[in-house]
Structure 1
Amino acid sequence: MFQNRFLFLLSFILVLFWGESSSAQKKTLAEKEIISLINDASAELNNNQYEKSLLKSRIALEKAITVKNHDLIANSYLIIAANFDELTEPTKALFYYNLGLSYAKRTNNNILKNQFYNNLGNIYCFDKKVYNKGIYYYKKSLSISQKIHDTEQTLLTNLNIAWAHFDINKYDEGFPYLKHVNKYQSIHGDESTIVAVNMLNGMYYNNKDENKKAEKHFTLAIQQGNLGNEKSDLSYSYLEYSKFLNKIGNYKKAYENLRLYNKITDEQQLENKLKKANVIGANLEIDQYKREIDKIETKYKIKQNKLLEEQSRNKKIVIIVFLLFISAIVFFYYFIQNLRLKEKNKLNDLQSKIQENIINASIDGQELERKKIASFLHDNISSLLSSAGIHLKVFTSQNFLQTEEIVKTKTILEEAHNQIRNLSHELMPSLLVRFGLLYGLDDLCEKNSNSNIRIEFNSLVPIKKRYNEEFEMKLYFIVTELLNNIIKHSEASNAKIALEEIDNNLLIVVTDNGNGFIDNEFELKEGFGINQIRARMNNMKGEFIINSILNTGTTIILKTPILNK
């Protein structure tokens, strides 16, 4: 969103001790080692090797704390925070930025302080609830940039402050900073800022209803953005231009620009997900396997050459040598093939485990988000709508007003309240949360039963029995997915969910009288979610069994160790 988030990060190692005397610049061996670690961690960060960067920066932090060097401690925290910032984990990044800033303030290193202020401004300005904090830190950064006569950073910070004000529709407050940027862009700016500058000018003139100027600047921003690599600024240019076009009635072109904004945004989100999905060690394991195979092949070639040399030196036993050679070839062939097969199986197992872990992590995240959103809708939005309805009711009763608008408002509030409540229950059923898995599944069967299909619930476990909350949630959504498959794909008229406890295991059997399928074809069909369910059950150390007969029906068995409440 904002310019050059880590503008100093590539160069801050060169100015670790800004303002120190020449005698203080003589580092001890321990401090030199720490600086080397910080250099390496910074290089790893720039190469997107976040795990390596975090490891080295944490080692540097431990050593810096040992020697009680505030400058090195602050720099170590800066890289740790920057890693989490790049991994889109703002809460962790914010924690380490603030912690590092507390040490940077104990030094005379203004460049280091400026980095913390600028990055804190970036983080806070991604949340409109705390925009004032973001602007506060940007202004602190601007003050230091002006103090140390850093003209480039002064330009960038003015740009960020203008952008922050414009983003919350405070154009008059932000314009003086944009005015500075317009004045010095040609002197201190570069290609990375010109897109944002034109976009902000377009936003300003759009707000002032100077449509020709707004059109000109938006067009320039998009043209220049397509020539460079700054996707973020280009995407926001498309978005703001779309708003402008919609305002002047050019809806077709507005929609096209909005589509381009969504496309770039989706690409950026995918890049962030791929960053998080990077699993440590997978590539190293693969390289290790390749090296082992290369060693085996090298040994084989050496022995083969020795056999050929021996054959040439001793022609009398050429037949024996030839037979030995053939035998060696066969032996080594099968030996190498066997080793390759084992390594391939290990690699496949590793890849399957990685994929399974990614699936489980994704599902865990989805379930957690469902719970958070459901709780927020129920506890916040629903309560606000109810409160609004009550206040409206009291107002009308006190003022004896029953106009058509008030009646419609009441109806709209009630409908909004009902829709929020229904959405909250769909995301996280209240019966599941309050009364447990058995009540939740019973209600699920009742809700999905209709004139086309009857779903029966039968439990040998007392319906009031409660298990571990996470355990219940996982099984509930697995069964929900299975029921959705039955309703969508099986064309069944009857289905049944049966539960019982056997040897401290919970057994869930889901059956239907639908059209069935061939097992291997079932795995390939889209929308069934079988791989996700199988990964989920493996993660729970359970069993997942499918038995199906074509045109007869399907039985699915889930068996998992019980996790009690």
Structure 2
Amino acid sequence: MSKSIRVFLFVVLVLCRTILLAQNHAPDHTSSSGRQVIIDEINKTEQLSDTTIAIQTLHRIIAENGADAEIQIKAFIASGNVQLQAGHFQHALKQYQSALRFAAQAPPYFSLCHNKIGNAYNMLSDQDNAAWHYNRSARYSESIASSVIPASYAYSNLGTILSQQKQYDKALYYTEKGIVLARKSKDQKFLATLILNKGLNQNLKGENELALRTLDTAAQLCRKEHFDRKLFTVLLNMGNIHLELKQPEQALKTYTEARALLAAGNGIPSNEINSLYRQLSDIYFQQKQYTLSQHYLDAADAYATNSPIDKYLTHYQQARLAFEQGHYKNAYEEIEQFRKIKDSIESSEIVLKVQELETKYRTLEKDKEISDKSAQISTQSQQLFQKNLWITIFILSFLILAGVFTWWRLKRRTVARMEKKTQEIEKLQHILLGEETERKRLAQELHDGINSQLSGAKSYMLAIGNKFPELTEESYYNKVKEILDHTSKELRSMAHNLAPGELNKGLVQAVTQFTARVQTEQVHIEFQHYGYFNQLSELQSINLYRIIQELVHNGLKHAQASEIIVLINEYPNEYCIIVEDNGRGFIQKEDAATEGIGLNNIRDRVHLLQGSLTIESTAQSGTTFAIHVPKLMALPASVPKAAM
């Protein structure tokens, strides 16, 4: 064994011994176990009933761990949760925004921070800002594989906001996206919640039969997984829809199943139990079984809340029962109480406030599910670390030893691959540089040559029309004039596409004007951008612009799309471009060489930028192109500018 290998193995043994000693050492802020102690303290502090002590403790943790981004994020989010539960929504928003500032050092927390900020804006009744942050949360969750919060949760909150704004179709679209992601991640509990939300939106749209089928799917999932708490909510909503459809027998059957779940004590809220008993009382009242109706109405009263609407409905039902049973004095008293509450809640402002509070309650309930999920993931990660520590130590030694013997071979292969890749990139650079130069030359010739000749022809036509006014009445004369005008516009547009002058003002300005120019009444193109793009080199800007240009044209010409979304994001180390259309899609070919010229051209430009391209497409379901390009790359400084 050579001397260098012996030295290397000695270093490995020292490293292993250091790891073992660190495991037996008392926890500190830099060790994994020490960090877990702090995270556990954050989780326990968030559950304290004394809001003031909880916030003071969390601020102390923040001050003592300023260098640890993950602890800062968790502590700020926990502080925001405490403020949110206490009703201090503006303070909660500031805490969540502070957490977001640290997320740049821990990208997996981007989505969670944006989701929390969306919750705070929702509590502040700023639905537009809430929807914007929920949308960013979903985007980050899908683009960052290790995201703390699944994208399905963000899509669920986005759907709730859109439903609150009565945009039910959009709400169903994002809820469906959440369902797909929840199925992929096998998150059965949240899948049941999303299917329930889908059914509620269908009911709000007036599609009651379809809503019943959707809710029945949620109920079957809850029964299979023994989600009794969620099953109760699903059954309660199914019974309400049966009553809307004048199906009391089916409603009674559904409510009876829900009532059977109460015996297990599943932490079902009082307001839902109150609603169930009131609905049972109403059904038996319709059947003239007044004794049973009174029994369930008394049971509902035992779970009465301070909600004005609950009191309003209870007094109304009590008045009806008393009247039918001949207790007219009681009926009069109940109807008087009913009228007083009715007058107080008929104000449109109060009704809207009640609806807003219900939406906020549902958001807080979902937020609790997200927090529980995050804590569960954190605990599982710590247990997995402890379990695999010893295995990692032995495997590490073996892998490093194997790497010593294979290092020189891998180095030679790596050098060869890098040389080949460098040659390919240089070749692509020259090809695309030449192509861009030729585009600009053609644009110049079209602008200065053919377009100038067309302008001259138009001038002669106008002169002839002025000299011989009778020609202006001739259809052939006007047709020729129209053809010249149209051809001149087409040439200007072609020259502009070949060498867009807006690129001198930046990529965002160029894409904005391009999308506005190609958009039609039949096709809506939405362009969104987040970040700063002033540091892009000229060649980077040109290639990114050409990629977007090609993808949008594909959506217009080949996919026959009616809606195209273009999204450009800046991340700490890369730029991300997403182009999504709702067109007819296509089946991807295994051999890239058999793909069309346009797609191959896109792949070449992405390869030149040392980026990656992902395509998701199925027939009749639209296509999504995702392109990730690193910020730092070896590219030519510039390309020749066009004289336009």
TM-score by length of 2: 0.33
- TM, length-normalised to structure 1: 0.38
